[in-house]
Amino acid sequence: MDAWVKFTNQSQGRDRIFRATQYACALSIYLLRKKTSERKDLVANLKSLEATMSAGRKLFRLGNTLNSIEAAKRTMQLSDRVLCLCLTVANINRALYFICDNVLWARSVGLIRDIDKEHWSLSASRCYFFSLVMNLSRDVYEIIQLMVQKARDEHFRQKMGQHLSENPEVADVVVPQLDAFLFLLLESLKSHPAVALDTLKNTCDLFIPLDRLGIYKSNAGVVGFCGLISSLIGIVTLAQPKLKIKP
């Protein structure tokens, strides 16, 4: 099991590069939608590349179900019950998402025929959505913890008081308490970039299943842009492990 998990983890970098390319193609196709007659060949090539990247990613993800199950086992041991609940539920839903994704891949290559593709695709989107919701819940919890710690810091309280006194015009436009809250939030995120990046990544990713499930309809451009941003963040956090949120 450990050897298989270690082996499949090596595909993460390639998967994220493929993902960034896939969503960059989707965004480009959307931006060129009014010029399809002028750039017909380019759009056709981009669509082909997008499909290739999507198929390649499905192949890379064949072992990720086991990775998610192992991750769920680890997060169940966390002493913080909120983190334990959020991360365990997120990993279980992620494992279910990969199972659906693997079934769809098997159908696409002809290994399985008698399945409802739309049903499995929607099931995958639902699992992905619930996984992201739990990950975002974890991010909010982490942010609240950071803000509480920051607010208790005497040096920070002095800094916040100085900020408010140097910007008296804010009180005429915005509720002072709101300005203090936003200052505390931004300073907390600034001091912990891993939390900020993870929150931004999960927020961007959330637009993908929201659109697919019809909960919040956007368009291919928004989905492509959000997918590209989250993919680039994923590449950065993989290249710089210190920017990856833990656990």
- Kindly state whether residue 178 falls inside one of the protein's structural domains: no
pLDDT tens digits along 135-156: 999 999 999 999 999 888 877 7
**What is the pLDDT confidence band of residue 50, given thresholds at 50, 70 and 90?**
very high
Identify the DSSP state of 34: G
Please give the single-letter amino acid code of residue 113.
Answer: R
11 CB neighbour count, 10 Å cutoff: 17
Q: What is the b/e burial string over 135-172, where b = at least 16 CB atoms within 10 angstroms of the residue's CB? A: bbbbbeebbebbbeebeeeeebeeebeeeeeeeeebee
3-state secondary structure of 230: helix
pLDDT of residue 10: 59
Structural domain boundaries, residue 206 = 2-152+192-243
Asked if 216 contacts 1 with a C-beta cutoff of 8 angstroms, the reply is no
Please give the single-letter amino acid code of residue 22.
Answer: Q
The listed range with the strongest mean pLDDT (8-12, 122-126, 175-179) is 122-126
- Kindly state whether residue 40 falls inside one of the protein's structural domains: yes
Pairwise CA distance, residues 223 & 213, whole Å: 13
pLDDT of residue 84: 97
Whether 99 has a pLDDT exceeding 50, the answer reads yes
pLDDT tens digits along 59-85: 888 888 999 999 999 999 999 999 999
Whether 114 has a pLDDT exceeding 70, the answer reads yes
Whether 236 has a pLDDT exceeding 50, the answer reads yes
- Kindly state whether residue 140 falls inside one of the protein's structural domains: yes
- Kindly state whether residue 201 falls inside one of the protein's structural domains: yes
The listed range with the strongest mean pLDDT (3-12, 17-26, 52-61) is 17-26
Identify the DSSP state of 112: -
- Kindly state whether residue 182 falls inside one of the protein's structural domains: no
Handedness of CA 9, 83, 141, 133 (dihedral sign): positive
Q: What is the mean pLDDT of residues 202-211?
A: 97
* pTM for the predicted model, two decimal places: 0.88
Whether 170 has a pLDDT exceeding 60, the answer reads no
Whether 4 has a pLDDT exceeding 60, the answer reads no
pLDDT of residue 238: 87
Pairwise CA distance, residues 218 & 23, whole Å: 15
DSSP code per residue over 129-141: HHHHHHHHHHHHH
**What is the pLDDT confidence band of residue 87, given thresholds at 50, 70 and 90?**
very high
What does the CA dihedral 68, 74, 78, 84 come to, rounded to 10 degrees? 20
Mean pLDDT, the chain, rounded, equals 88
Question: Apex CA 114: angle with CA 113 and CA 116, to 5°?
Answer: 105
pLDDT of residue 210: 96
pLDDT of residue 163: 63
- Kindly state whether residue 27 falls inside one of the protein's structural domains: yes
pLDDT of residue 7: 44
Asked if 150 contacts 184 with a C-beta cutoff of 8 angstroms, the reply is yes
- Kindly state whether residue 25 falls inside one of the protein's structural domains: yes
Across the chain, how many H-helices and E-strands are there? 11, 0
* Number of structural domains in the chain: 1
Identify the DSSP state of 242: G
- Kindly state whether residue 160 falls inside one of the protein's structural domains: no
Pairwise CA distance, residues 207 & 216, whole Å: 8
